[in-house]
């Protein structure tokens, strides 16, 4: 069962109708609004509510959040953006968080958020 704990959130206007996008990844657009993040792109956080365009969007930017997933995920996997704002296992884009539980596509799981972290190779 997905849980949340100690979330750092920000509030900004929704730049589109996000009423069906709760727990999906969003980004802050150049006009200062929250919009649904796209596949293989960066995300600034996870939408915590379900605002219509122009209403206040609560965006978790750090902490432990519920997140919608767009593919099968296992505990401990690094996650990146998938289609429709859901997170998927890391495959060379920008890491958004780490799965604290597993699940199937469409599930809501618990994720440790650290948006905007590009994975890099480490050499011994």
The domain locations on the chain are 1-117
Count how many residues are written for the chain.
124
pLDDT of residue 122: 47
CATH superfamily of 1-117: Head decoration protein D (2.40.300.10)
Instruction: Give the per-residue pLDDT at 55.
Output: 98
How far is 114 from 96, CA to CA, in rounded Å? 6
pLDDT score, position 115: 66
The token duo for 57 is 């969007």
Q: State how far the Cα of 64 lies from the Cα of 10, in Å rounded to an integer.
A: 15
pTM value is: 0.88
Residue 94: CB partners within 8 Å, gap ≥ 6? Answer: 41, 42, 43, 80, 81, 116, 117, 118, 119
- Residue 61: its H or E element: strand 56-68
């Amino acid at each position: 069962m997905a849980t949340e704990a100690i979330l750092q959130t920000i509030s900004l206007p929704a730049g589109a109708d996000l009423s069906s996008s709760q727990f999906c990844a969003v980004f802050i657009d150049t006009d200062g609004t929250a919009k649904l993040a796209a596949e293989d792109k960066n995300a600034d956080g996870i939408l915590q509510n379900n605002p219509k365009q122009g209403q206040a969007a609560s965006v978790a930017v750090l902490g432990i959040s519920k997140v919608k997933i767009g593919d099968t995920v296992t505990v401990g996997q690094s996650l990146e953006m998938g289609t429709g704002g859901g997170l998927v296992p890391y495959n060379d884009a920008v890491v958004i968080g780490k799965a604290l539980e597993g699940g199937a596509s469409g599930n809501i799981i618990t994720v440790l958020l650290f948006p905007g972290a590009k994975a890099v190779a480490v050499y011994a």
